[in-house]
Amino acid sequence: MTRLYNFCAGPAALPTAVLERAQQEILSYQGKGLSVMEMSHRSKDFVAIAEQAEQDLRDLMNIPDNYKVLFMQGGASSQFTMLPMNMLRGKTAADYINTGDWSKKAIAEAKRYCDVNVAATMEGNNFTSVPTQSELNLNADAAYVHYTPNETIRGVEFDYVPETNGVPLIADYSSSILSEEIDISKYGIVYAGAQKNIGPAGLCIVIVREDLLGQALPETPSMFNYQIFADNGSMYNTPPTYSWYLAGLVFQWLKEQGGVNAIAEINQRKASKLYDFIDSNDFYSNPVDKAYRSTMNVPFILKNADLDKQFLAESEAAGLLNLAGHRSVGGMRASIYNAVPEAAVDALIAFMDKFAQVNK
């Protein structure tokens, strides 16, 4: 079976080796006579899978012992609601940095629960950069500061971790978790939907500092309460067991690749090549400030938008899938997560080069 190069922003490419392993085990997990999908989440075998996945993630990300790792559901979007419910801790205001579409969604949900102070917004420059530390208008009395280290749609990425002077920092790492090293100790919470660098959709990983737990708003539903998830090993209800298992296989694969630093080096190379190519001609362009271009999501536009449809049809025919930009912004976007091999980027550049020659 041929596997083509998939540049989808999410659900995104998974490592072929992971899918092959899942295929081998799909009917009978390690000779047990049943699929992981058919196991009780409380069975010895599944609990071992779940614990191993957590341990591998802790190893990969160097997660300190005073952080809980929660395997939740509802995607990153549900976190937009869970964060204020769990993290206000008696306060009434929170700071949000607005660097794009996902920041805005997080802000909109938080406004239902607290006063949102937008500490900086990049809307004025059409989200083509991020604010500097000195541009952040932080409120010392905020319950937390929320930001989006990598904005998936417009491809804008922070090159620094905001300093919040003791106020817990919360980061939506959905599209860049595991792509490079993160110093977890700088954060109150790091969270990420799974369907980019972690595994299939259906899981959301929440890494939370223990001392922040236990102060959820009284009306918080049990399924949205971090403390309840922490107390129950993320098995308060039936978790998405197969997604959890596949995430575990992805973590093992990443360890085999040499871990986060090793993949980060490849990621840098992939992104640099593609941006260098885009910058090297006037047929393609990317509007983002060079200092803040995303390593994972590379949006670009063609000089002549009338060629967009043709570009997408021909790239697909050439085995380069899912290059359309997000429906809200149009243009093109190549998402080049961990599981997208460097050869995919080389093939994309070769295609783009040829397309530009023929159509200029």
Quick one: how far is CA 351 from the chain centroid? Answer: 27
Sign of the four-CA dihedral 237, 242, 248, 250: negative
Q: Which residues of 337-352 are buried (b: 16+ CB within 10 A; e: fewer)?
A: bbbbbeebbebbbebb
Q: What region, left, alpha or beta, does residue 202 occupy, with left being phi > 0 and alpha being psi -120 to 50 degrees? A: left
x/- track of binding to ligand PMP for residues 204-233 (CB under 6 A)? ------------------------------
172 is catalytic: yes
Select from 21-29, 60-68, 71-79, 288-296 the region that touches ligand PMP (CB under 6 A).
71-79
Q: How far apart are CA 216 and CA 9, in angstroms?
A: 32
SS3 40: coil
Nearer of residues 75 and 319 to ligand PMP, judged by Cβ = 75
Q: Per CB under 6 A, does 77 bind ligand PMP?
A: yes
Quick one: how far is CA 27 from the chain centroid? Answer: 30
Q: How far apart are CA 155 and CA 297, in angstroms?
A: 5
Q: How far apart are CA 178 and CA 34, in angstroms?
A: 31
- Among 355, 344, 169, 336, smallest CA distance to 263 is for 336
Q: Per CB under 6 A, does 152 bind ligand PMP?
A: yes
Nearer of residues 174 and 234 to ligand PMP, judged by Cβ = 174
Nearer of residues 152 and 227 to ligand PMP, judged by Cβ = 152
Nearer of residues 147 and 351 to ligand PMP, judged by Cβ = 147
Q: How far apart are CA 49 and CA 60, in angstroms?
A: 16
Q: How far is the CB of 173 from ligand PMP (least distance, A)?
A: 8
Nearer of residues 46 and 300 to ligand PMP, judged by Cβ = 300
Select from 23-31, 69-77, 242-250, 277-285 the region that touches ligand PMP (CB under 6 A).
69-77
231 is catalytic: no
Task: Please select the residue that binds ligand PMP; options are 148, 179, 197, 252, rule is CB under 6 A.
Answer: 148
Q: How far apart are CA 100 and CA 91, in angstroms?
A: 26
Nearer of residues 54 and 157 to ligand PMP, judged by Cβ = 157
- Choose, from 196, 244, 253, 270, the residue flagged as catalytic: 196
Name residues contacting ligand PMP, limited to 7-66 (CB under 6 A): 10
Task: Please select the residue that binds ligand PMP; options are 11, 75, 287, 341, rule is CB under 6 A.
Answer: 75
Task: Please select the residue that binds ligand PMP; options are 6, 98, 99, 174, rule is CB under 6 A.
Answer: 174
- Choose, from 56, 68, 172, 270, the residue flagged as catalytic: 172
Q: Per CB under 6 A, does 243 bind ligand PMP?
A: no
102 is catalytic: yes
Assigned token pair, 21 = 């392993």
With beta carbons less than 8 A apart as the criterion, state whether 118 and 111 touch.
no
| Active site residues per annotation | 102, 172, 196
Give the binding site for ligand PMP (CB under 6 A). Answer: 10, 75-77, 102, 148, 152, 172, 174-175, 193
